[in-house]
Amino acid sequence: MTANLLDFDLEGLAAFCERLGQQRFRAVQLFRWIHQRGVACFEEMTDLARDLRERLPSVARVQGLPVLAEQASADGTIKWLFDVGDGNAVEAVYIPEDDRATLCVSSQAGCAVGCRFCSTGHQGFSRNLTTGEILAQLWHAEHELRRRLQTRERVISNVVMMGMGEPLQNYAALIPALRVMLDDHGYGLSRRRVTVSTSGVVPMMERLAQDCPVALAVSLHAPDDALRDRLVPLNRKYPLHELMQACRRYLPAAPRDFVTFEYCMLDGINDTLTHADALVALVREHGVPCKINLIPFNPFPASGLRRSPRLAVKAFADRLNAAGIVTTIRKTRGDDIDAACGQLAGDVQDRTRVAQRLARRGEDLAVVRVQRPQGAREVAP
Ligand code: SAH
Ligand code: SF4
Write the CATH number for 119: 3.20.20.70
pLDDT at 6 over 60: yes
pLDDT digits (tens, 9 = 90+) for 302-316: 899 999 999 999 999
Residues 76 and 107 both lie in one domain: yes
Nearest CA to ligand 2 atom 8: 165
The partner residues of 161 in beta bridges, in order of sequence, read 196
Counted domains in the chain? 2
Residues 120 and 51 both lie in one domain: no
Residue 179: predicted pLDDT: 98
Final residue belonging to a domain, choices 21, 43, 61: 61
Residues 112 and 204 both lie in one domain: yes
Final residue belonging to a domain, choices 61, 77, 95: 61
- What is the mean pLDDT of the segment spanning 364-376? 37
Quick check: is 290 catalytic? no
Pocket test for ligand 1, best of 162, 169, 261 (most atoms within 8 A of CB): 162
Residue 147: predicted pLDDT: 97
Task: Tell me which residue range forms the domain holding 136.
Answer: 67-360
Q: Is residue 367 part of a domain?
A: no
Count other Cβ atoms within 10 Å, centred on residue 226: 8
**Among 60-64, 291-295, 350-354, the least confident range:** 350-354
Residue 341: predicted pLDDT: 62
Do 140 and 197 meet the contact criterion of CB atoms below 8 Å apart?
no
**Distance (Å, rounded) from C-alpha 244 to C-alpha 250?**
10
Count other Cβ atoms within 10 Å, centred on residue 225: 14
Residues 71 and 220 both lie in one domain: yes
For the domain that residue 32 is a member of, what is the CATH number? 1.10.150.530
Do 337 and 72 meet the contact criterion of CB atoms below 8 Å apart?
yes
Residues 83 and 214 both lie in one domain: yes
Length of the chain: 381
The one catalytic residue in 91, 133, 144, 166 is: 91
3-state secondary structure at position 366: coil
Quick check: is 91 catalytic? yes
Q: Is residue 371 part of a domain?
A: no
Pocket test for ligand 1, best of 243, 262, 350 (most atoms within 8 A of CB): 262
Residues 97 and 207 both lie in one domain: yes
pLDDT at 93 over 70: yes
Q: Is residue 366 part of a domain?
A: no
Q: Is residue 374 part of a domain?
A: no
Q: Is residue 381 part of a domain?
A: no
pLDDT at 355 over 60: no
Residues 110 and 35 both lie in one domain: no
Positions of E strands within the chain: 3-4, 60-61, 67-72, 78-85, 88-96, 101-104, 108-110, 125-128, 158-161, 194-198, 215-219, 259-265, 290-296, 327-329
Cα 234 to averaged position of ligand 2 atoms, centre (Å): 10
- What is the mean pLDDT of the segment spanning 138-162? 97
3-state secondary structure at position 267: coil
- What is the mean pLDDT of the segment spanning 70-89? 95
Residue 344: predicted pLDDT: 59
Q: Is residue 375 part of a domain?
A: no
Q: Which residues, other chains included, contact 71 with Cβ-Cβ below 8 Å and sequence gap of 6+? A: 78, 79, 337, 339, 354, 358, 363, 365, 368
Residues 40 and 125 both lie in one domain: no
- Measured from the Cα of 300, ligand 1's closest atom is 22
Residue 51: predicted pLDDT: 92
Number of H helices and E strands in the chain, helices first, is: 12, 14
Q: How confident is the model at residue 345 (pLDDT cuts 50, 70, 90)?
A: low
pLDDT at 146 over 90: yes
Cα 212 to averaged position of ligand 1 atoms, centre (Å): 22
Residues 8 and 79 both lie in one domain: no
DSSP-derived secondary structure letter, 208: H
pLDDT at 322 over 80: yes
Q: How confident is the model at residue 370 (pLDDT cuts 50, 70, 90)?
A: very low
Q: Is residue 274 part of a domain?
A: yes
Residues 136 and 13 both lie in one domain: no
- What is the mean pLDDT of the segment spanning 188-194? 98
Residues 185 and 199 both lie in one domain: yes
Final residue belonging to a domain, choices 16, 44, 61: 61
Do 286 and 248 meet the contact criterion of CB atoms below 8 Å apart?
yes
Ligand 2 in reach of 118 Cβ (< 6 A): yes
Residues 118 and 30 both lie in one domain: no
Q: Is residue 373 part of a domain?
A: no
pLDDT digits (tens, 9 = 90+) for 214-249: 999 999 999 999 999 999 999 999 999 999 999 999
